Amino acid sequence: MVTLRVKSEKLLGRRLIYLSILLAVTIPMIWRISFKERASSMVRDVFTAIESLPPGARVLVVYDFDPGTEPEIKPMADAFTRHLCLKGAKLYWATLWPTGPVQIDKTIRDVLKPEFPDYRYGVDYVNLGYVSGNEGVIALALTDFRKAFVTDAHNIPTSDSERLPIMQLARNIRSFNLIVDCSGGYPGLQEWIQYAAVPGRVTLLGGSVAVGTPELFPYVPEQCLGFLAGIKGAAEYEQLLLERYPQLDRPQCRVALERMGPQTVAHLAIIFFILLGNGLHLLRRGREES
């Protein structure tokens, strides 16, 4: 009888914890609860680098991620695009992942066209699509960018100065003021550091999935100015954007911040149950000893 009671209490405790975590995750999602983020020094360095770009700066934006890493990377990629467009930069999208073109198209469709309709294709931005070859593509782009990317995503030759005048400004990697890489794995940020930023002496920054950040920290700040670490880094970057540009305080500009809401509440719930469990354990042990 005592054993059955103990088992039922344990089962009830587990169900209570699982239900509490479920509510801690779903309620912030339904009510779109978010919290103000405090940006780290590295995220501030990334923000400042883009904020200090002159109008017309040439920026190579690389989308090296897929649908599996999209929940972490897409919010930071969209935030980078907004910030670069607000600074009037010329954007060169490219990817070394076969799944990358879909992600580029989503940003162009969801961010660039509705929010910055004055941006003209071939003049202010270009979509170079996917090129296979991993590090080989980067090494070739270091010396001849148009040989690495022979056509754009619409099969227009990059040598066509009439339809793609923006490409005449990009001779090699050194032609760019900045490289921004949104990395979900290999090839990604690490390869662009080793084969482009270091030999080309070009400023590079970007973002990475949280699980891939430990191997990137040794490159900061000498070879890589900084990067956003997962959805947390993306949320910190969105917070800086909202503080600098209050007109961006819209739901589509707060995606990472809203995704951090359920995580924050769930973590607080877990901490509460840890403290509660330890407190009850110490109380019970004190009673048994007395």
Q: What pLDDT score does 10 carry?
A: 59
CB 79 within 8 A of CB 238: yes
5 domain-assigned: no
**What's the pTM value of the predicted model, to 2 decimals?**
0.89
18 domain-assigned: no
Q: Provide the sign of the torsion angle of the four alpha carbons 36, 65, 111, 205, taken in this order.
A: positive
Q: Are residues 139 and 187 in the same domain?
A: yes
Task: For residue 64, count other CB atoms closer than 10 A to its CB.
Answer: 27
pLDDT by 10-residue block (mean), the chain, 290 residues:
49 76 87 88 98 97 97 97 98 98 97 98 98 96 97 97 96 97 96 96 96 95 96 97 96 94 88 86 81
CATH code, domain carrying 199: 3.40.50
Q: Are residues 111 and 81 in the same domain?
A: yes
CB 196 within 8 A of CB 173: yes
Q: Provide the sign of the torsion angle of the four alpha carbons 190, 196, 200, 202, taken in this order.
A: negative
Question: Considering its fold, how many domains does the chain have in total?
Answer: 2
Query: Which residue segment(s) compose the domain that 276 sits in?
Result: 260-290
Q: Are residues 133 and 199 in the same domain?
A: yes
Rg (CA), the chain: 23
Q: What pLDDT score does 3 carry?
A: 52
Report the C-alpha gap between 3 and 190 in whole angstroms: 56
Question: What are the phi and psi torsion angles at 228 (to 5°)?
Answer: -90, 125
Q: What pLDDT score does 73 carry?
A: 97
